[in-house]
Structure 1
Amino acid sequence: MGILSGLFHSRDKPKDSTNGSNYRFLFGGTTSGNRVTEQSAMQMTAVYACVRILSEAIAGLPLHLYHYTETGSKEKAIKHPLYFLLHDEPNPEMTSFVFRETMMTHLLLYGNAYSQIIRNGKGEVIGLYPLMPNRMTVDRDDKGQIYYQYLVSDSDAPTMKEGTVNLKKEDVLHIPGLGFDGLVGYSPIAMAKNAIGLSIATEEYGAKFFANGATPGGILEYPGTVKDPDRVRESWNKGFSGRNSHKVAILEEGMKYTPISISPNEAQFLETRKFQIDEIARIFRIPPHMVGDLEKSSFSNIEQQSLEFVKYTLEPWLMRWEQSINRALLSPNEKSTYFVKFNVDGLLRGDYQSRMSGYATARQNGWMSANDIRELENLDLIPVEEGGNLYLINGNMTKLADAGIFAKGGKEQSDEEVLEVEEPDESEGTDNGEDVVSQRDNRRGKLV
């Protein structure tokens, strides 16, 4: 019972990843000896590239609010006040692109993205302001209801007073990342701190190596006793390291300099740096060619990798965004008729030849008009009176209702029923039965 009570107590009070949660010890020092935080990780080019790629991709996609019509089709809810906030300006201080880019950066670095929801007297959403995840704590009250505790600073938007503010869950748009309890996400940077720490260590090694003129350390040999070795070492480093490297050294009194030759290849320096780029790209599920590693990319597979980026990398993030927005920003009555959706068609368009082939198939089969195609290609629409909205099909195709048995109400007729019609007397007006057979076949062809 003690174990169970402790388990339920831990779930009753979930903590944010940057505010004393039970995995907070993962931040900070690493096995490599380098301290890894969200800020220090962004100094790595591979981490910066991955975060920038994902945040700009999410921010650049069109985001629309839709609603279902009486016929069951969907159309953009342009007149809804939430449409303008999501598509254009979530608040007077930033555009939709900047807002989503900021929120996605928080989500990738801290594992959570928070935004304060501003409502009017009617309960309608009139503003969204991003909140820093490292100053947010998630907790439960005595009744088990989730609330958010935020530490306000003077750099935040003037929507809250300075100090610690408690926010209801209805007042916070929370997009959690991957986590253990479904309430709070865990930071990818904290979970992969050793991989990032190794990258930082190899980068620092390379920087120091080239700062020393790409010359490894060495040994100063003196035939006698050195009275002040520290002074001799400092004098040597000052005169022949950094910007003074490769200068001609003059040694006195039998002193000799013996370099320690350890090449970067022997220390696997370059291989380690290259592998760590792939390691960081693996954390964020980014194709290596998008962070500048083209070793395993070619003309034949790079397009397929780009499509896989949309399907396996972007779509899970888009689902988190869409479902979180629908849950937090739509009222219970609106959730049955309104929904938010990202448009990824632009990323899946492919090359020009593939698009034209797909458009031709859609046009010939009647499920896209000329204006539908021109709108996707950002071309001016053809006026309606000139047939821009017409849906066409090939002439050898017909409706199912006009074909075969369906033309007669859907009742199948046997050959006997087809022949049970008024037939002319074979003995009247004919010398043989050829005309009668011809009339029967014609009549039968009309019925079948």
Structure 2
Amino acid sequence: MGLLSGLFRSRDKPQNRTSGSAYSFFFGGSSAGKRVNERSAMQMTAVYACVRILSEAIAGLPLHLYRYKEDGGKEKALDHSLYRLLHDEPNPEMSSFVFRETLMTHLLLWGNAYAQIIRNGKGEVIALYPLMPDRMTVDRDGNGQLYYEYTVSMDDAPTVKGSVVRLKPSDVLHIPGLGFDGLVGYSPIAMAKNAIGMTIACEEYGAKFFANGAAPGGVLEHPGTIKDPQRVRESWQSTFGGSGNSNKIAVLEEGMKYTPIGISPEQAQFLETRKFQINEIARIFRVPPHMVGDLEKSSFSNIEQQSLEFVKYTLEPWLVRWEQSIQRTLFSPEEKKQYFAKFNVEGLLRGDYASRMTGYATARQNGWMSANDIRELENMDRIPAEEGGDLYLINGNMLPLGNAGAFANTEVSDDGKEEDSDEEVLEVEEPGGDGNGSGSEDAVLERHHRRGKLV
């Protein structure tokens, strides 16, 4: 404890800034003049699409709890209490899908996901409740030990009492995103607030452009002096402003003339800017552009490869964060040696039907998948073992794996004829035959049986 006190003092609490820097990565104003926070960012279609794609992908994957077997394999730990919490229902108020979707949304918007761990008297986890990241503070006490401080709202589940509650690390499932201290993650929205602020500004510009009747601002010129220019301006705006008044014919009196002074959106590269910002936001979340509706550089030949890269380079790091956080927090030291949680991504890595069948055929013919292994991957019922559902076959007349090499004991003599190296071959004479036993079908089967040990 003395060593920890020397290394981690109370002032060394996790902060939302780099070491020695006064610049903080918080929500707020952007260089485009627009305020960016988690709610305004989610009003951008590209941000909403990326957050929804990632959160639903994580929530939709099967999450299983496994137990190590003595023979080195693994099996689902269906009898463990955590299996039901992780796979089905983490608390009485929500399903596993909704729970993981909520935490993943928090992780993408705030850079951290928190859930309160409810335990019974034996220390077993009986429920998990999401906590809002913007009301959570991570700090150290005087001994350098981490603790979590949560500000309670009336909307929270009644699992805690008081306005501010201090929780121990063992009472919080904390999944941090990318950060500089390994304890607190930084919000992707806050880190990229200038790019998102520019997107908000572009969208607001387009909305005001069409609100003005898709016509740029201009000047009303009068040859004389206008006594009440405010009234003329308001009259013009009410008559010709707005998309509902577009294409109306203006009647100008007393020599008045309208001269537009704005520039077209094409000249301002408005559409190109908006399109680039969509790709910019997709780049922040590492989501392929085709998944947010940009199919310009996608084709039939490469879109499947992009989807596989999405699983490998985008989803996989998030899944590892989830799995290791669950392993670190929810299991006791003894359970960590026996159990582990794992997401099943096989469904996302599956190709089209023809490719899957070709792969299954190769695996089946080479002896490393049985019919039941394949049927389980295709969500089909198992074939009973007595009907051969668990047999592993190999090429060469599709023999059972246990009989592979049955003819290894057969030697070839100098004259090219097969001879039995271990035991004498019994010749069986066919009734009514020529006496040499070679013309009988039963004799042929008998010779093959003795040489190959076939069943």
- Asked if Structure 1 and Structure 2 have the same fold, meaning a TM-score greater than 0.5 normalized by the shorter chain, the answer is yes
Cα gap change, 1:53 to 1:59, in 2 (>3 Å): same
Asked if the contact 1:137–1:150 (Cα under 8 Å) also holds between the matched residues in 2, the reply is: yes
Say yes or no: does 1:283 pair with 2:289.
no
Deviations 1:313-359 (A, max 9, x none): 00000000000000000100010110000000000011111111111
Aligned residues: 409
User: CA separation in 2, counterparts of 1:400 and 1:388?
Assistant: 15
Cα deviation per residue 1:66-93 (whole Å; 9 max; x = unaligned)? 0111111100000000000000000000
Question: Is contact 2:220-2:257 (8 Å) kept?
Answer: yes
Q: Take 1:94 and 1:402, find their aligned partners in 2: how far apart are those partners?
A: 52
- CA–CA distance in 1 between the matches of 2:25 and 2:361? 58
Letter in 2 for 1:232: V
Q: 1:401 to 1:380 in 2, by over 3 A?
A: closer
Distance in 2 (alpha carbons) for counterparts of 1:176 and 1:22: 22
8 A Cα contact 2:25 2:191, kept in partner: no
With over 3 angstroms needed to count, the CA separation of the structure-2 counterparts of 1:365 and 1:127, relative to structure 1, is same
Q: CA deviation at 1:443?
A: 8.9
Query: Does the Cα contact within 8 Å between 2:50 and 2:285 map onto a contact in 1?
Result: yes
Structure 1 match to 2:246: 245
Q: Distance in 1 between matches of 2:55 and 2:141?
A: 34
Partner of 2:203: 203
> In structure 1, what is the equivalent of residue 75 of structure 2?
75
Distance 2:388 2:25 in 1: 66
CA distance in 1, matches of 2:227, 2:143: 75
Cα deviation for residue 386 of structure 1 reads: 1.2
* Residue 254 of structure 1, CA deviation: 2.1
Counterpart secondary structure, 1:12: coil
Q: Is the 8 A contact 1:16 1:136 kept in 2?
A: no
Task: Decide whether the 8 Å contact of 2:364 with 2:394 is kept in 1.
Answer: yes
**Does the C-alpha gap of structure 1 residues 10 and 41 become closer, same or farther in structure 2, counting only changes over 3 Å?**
farther
Instruction: Supply the distance in 1 between the matched residues of 2:97 and 2:355 (Cα, whole angstroms).
Output: 29
* TM-superposed deviation, 1:23: 4.9
Q: Which residue of 1 aligns with 2:429?
A: none
Could you list the per-position Cα deviations for residues 179-200 of structure 1 after superposition, in whole angstroms to 9, with x for gaps in the alignment? 0100000000000001001111
Query: Which residue pairs with 2:381 in the alignment?
Result: 380
Q: What residue number does 1:395 align with?
A: 396
Partner of 1:170: 170
TM-score, normalised with respect to structure 2: 0.84
**Aligned ranges 1:27-66 → 2 under 5 Å:** 27-66=27-66
Please tell me whether residue 296 in structure 1 is matched to residue 297 in structure 2. Answer: yes
CA distance in 2 between partners of 1:331 and 1:26 (Å) = 35
**Residue 16 of structure 1 contacts residue 137 of structure 1 at CA under 8 Å; is this kept in 2?**
no
SS of residue matched to 2:157: coil
Does the 8 Å CA contact 2:375/2:381 hold for their aligned counterparts?
A: yes
Matched with 1:145 is 145
C-alpha distance in structure 2 between counterparts of 1:207 and 1:291, whole Å: 21
TM-score normalised to structure 1 length: 0.86
Moved more, 365-374 or 394-403: 394-403
Q: Describe the SS at the equivalent of 2:35.
A: coil
Paired AA for residue 88 in structure 2: D
Deviation at 1:376, TM superposition (A): 0.8
> Could you tell me whether the CA contact under 8 Å between 2:392 and 2:400 is conserved in 1?
no
Q: How far apart, CA to CA, are the structure 2 residues paired with 1:402 and 1:384?
A: 20
What's the C-alpha RMSD, in Å, of the aligned pairs? 2.7
User: Aligned pair 1:305/2:323, yes or no?
Assistant: no
Counterpart of 1:252 in 2: which secondary structure?
coil
Residue 136 (str. 1) matches residue 136 (str. 2)? yes
Bigger helix share:
1
How many angstroms apart in 2 are the aligned matches of 1:438 and 1:42?
83
> How many angstroms apart in 2 are the aligned matches of 1:8 and 1:77?
39
The separation in 1 between residues aligned to 2:11 and 2:337, in whole angstroms, is: 31
**Alpha-carbon shift at residue 253 of structure 1 (Å):** 2.3
Q: Give ranges in structure 2 of 5+ residues lacking alignment.
A: 1-6, 424-455
The corresponding residue for 2:433 is none
Instruction: Tell me if the contact between 1:113 and 1:133 (Cα under 8 Å) persists in the aligned partners.
Output: yes
Alpha-carbon separation, structure 2, partners of 1:340 and 1:23: 38
Q: Name whichever of 223-232 and 174-183 sits farther off.
A: 223-232
**Helix, strand or coil at the partner of 1:275:** helix
Is the partner of 2:276 in helix, strand or coil?
helix
Matching of residue 190 in structure 1 with residue 190 in structure 2: yes
Distance in structure 1 (CA, Å) of the matches to 2:22 and 2:60: 35
CA distance in 1: counterparts of 2:33 and 2:45, whole angstroms: 19
Alignment partners' CA distance in 1, 2:278 and 2:267: 20
Of residues 201-210 and 247-256 in structure 1, the stretch that sits farther from structure 2 once superposed is 247-256
Q: Partner of 1:239: helix, strand, or coil?
A: helix
2-side partners of 1:88 and 1:402: how far apart? Answer: 44
Q: Matched residues, percent identical?
A: 76
Separation in 2, partners of 1:231, 1:164: 56
- 1:118 counterpart = 2:118: yes
Task: Find the residue that maps to 2:233 and give its secondary structure.
Answer: helix
> Whole-Å Cα distance in 1 between the matches of residues 15 and 166 of structure 2?
14
SS of alignment partner, residue 28 of structure 2: coil
After TM superposition, the structure 1 stretch with the greater mean CA deviation from structure 2, 370-379 or 111-120, is 370-379
CA distance in 2 between partners of 1:73 and 1:22 (Å)? 51
Aligned-pair CA distance for 1:246: 2.9
Who is 1:270 aligned against?
271
Deviates more, 1:200-209 or 1:238-247: 238-247
